[in-house]
Amino acid sequence: EAQVTQNPRYLITVTGKKLTVTCSQNMNHEYMSWYRQDPGLGLRQIYYSMNVEVTDKGDVPEGYKVSRKEKRNFPLILESPSPNQTSLYFCASSFQGANEKLFFGSGTQLSVL
């Protein structure tokens, strides 16, 4: 089944403890992206990647890192999480880029205490 898989679904952590949210797609998509969703603000893009080893900042990249070493994986790294990064995170992918239909993961609800 074609899908975008995010893990974990829920995560509670403490300030400053490094964490990684994984994202994997099995559709051979070139484009992958991370969003955060906060009440009243909609989805805001954190980082995106047009292909392997090609990443770029979105609207809210501060405090996040990403890597794209393989086409299928696009992990989101929080080196030193802070409470303002408490949010619902989504990974998404498409075949070639922003002009195309995005496939979304089920989301990761992160709470930073």
In a 13 Å sphere around the CA of 21, the CA atoms on its Cβ side amount to 32
What is the rounded distance in angstroms from the CA atom of residue 90 to the CA atom of residue 77? 13
Residue the block writes with tokens 């998404």: 92
Question: Closer CB to other proteins, residue 12 or residue 41?
Answer: 41
Question: Closer CB to other proteins, residue 1 or residue 99?
Answer: 99
What is the closest distance, in whole angstroms, from the C-beta atom of residue 20 to other proteins in the complex?
19
Residue 81 lies near other proteins (rule: CB under 8 A): no
What is the rounded distance in angstroms from the CA atom of residue 113 to the CA atom of residue 111? 6
Q: What residues between 82 and 111 interact with other proteins by CB under 8 A?
A: 88, 90, 92, 97-107, 109
Instruction: Give the CA distances from residue 67 to residues 20, 83, 96, in Å, rounded to whole numbers and listed in that order.
Output: 11, 23, 18
Question: Closer CB to other proteins, residue 58 or residue 63?
Answer: 58
List residues near other proteins by CB under 8 A: 4, 33, 35, 40-45, 48, 56, 58-59, 88, 90, 92, 97-107, 109
